[in-house]
Structure formats: C-alpha cells, structure tokens
Amino acid sequence: MAKANRHRGWREAGLAGLMLVSFFMPWLYSMGTPIRAHEIRERLAGPHRLISAFTTGSRVTRDYNLSLCLYAVPLVAGVILVLVLMGKYRPWMGALAGATGLAAFLFLRGEVESFPFHRMASGSYVALATGLALALSPLLRIGSRF
C-alpha cells in the first residue's frame, strides 16, 4: 500500500514541473521582444505609475493589479510538487492548480488581443497545456479505476 501511495501523482508532478518551467519561458512577444511571465508586471509598472497619477481605475492599472496573479502559476506548481513528494497529493488539488494555469493564459490572451504588435509565446502555451492536463487529471484518474 505504501508503495502505491509513493507513486501516486507522478504524472501530475511532471505536469506541475512543466508548469513551473513555463513561468520562466517567454509568455509573449512585445514588438518582437520575448517577455517572460515574471517580466510582464515590470513592463506594466511604468505606464501604471504614469496613468494612475491622473486617473483611477484605468485599464493599465487593472492590468497591473491582475498581472500579480501570474505569480500564482509557479506557486501552485511548486505546491503540487511538494505534495506529491510528501505523498499527500489528491487529484482535486491538480484540478485547482490546472485552473490557475488556464486562468493565467486566458487573462494574458485577452490582454494581447487588445494591443497591436503583441503575440503569445511558447511559455503561455505550455502553461495552457499543462493546466488543461492538470485540470482534467481527476477525471482521468476516475476513468483509470474502471
């Protein structure tokens, strides 16, 4: 029984590892320059300070605040990895972590569509793919029991 629990969640650990790595890959190209997920907030900081000095509730201010949610991607991926190593992983946890990766991708895709000369890069697609797989992991585990 202990041996079965030790190997429980190895697929999710691999997916969480890929999700963690995706955070440090380019998530978008801004005028041809690759930008990693952790650099997006820095890019928005200058316009945020300028616009927020004159207005409240602007789109740039909202985007700047929402970009903080991108840091949840490596955080939940790291938590999943630790839980798998400790043997405390449960499939529903992977679904929550996957939802975080999906939400980050959808947020960024919505922002990129509204700005010219911006396009999505490989890191965001890796987060999307691993997020989908983690979100579906509880369903895949149920199907493998029968």
Per-residue model confidence (pLDDT) at position 45:
59
DSSP state of 25: S
For 126, the domain range is: 2-145
The total domain count for the chain is 1
Q: How far apart are CA 64 and CA 47, in angstroms?
A: 9
pTM of the model: 0.75
Per-residue model confidence (pLDDT) at position 6:
46
Q: Average pLDDT by consecutive 10-residue portion of the chain (146 residues)?
A: 54 92 89 82 59 54 66 92 90 88 86 77 92 86 52
Q: Nearest 10 degrees: CA dihedral of 46, 29, 25, 75?
A: 50
Residue 110 in tokens: 């919505």
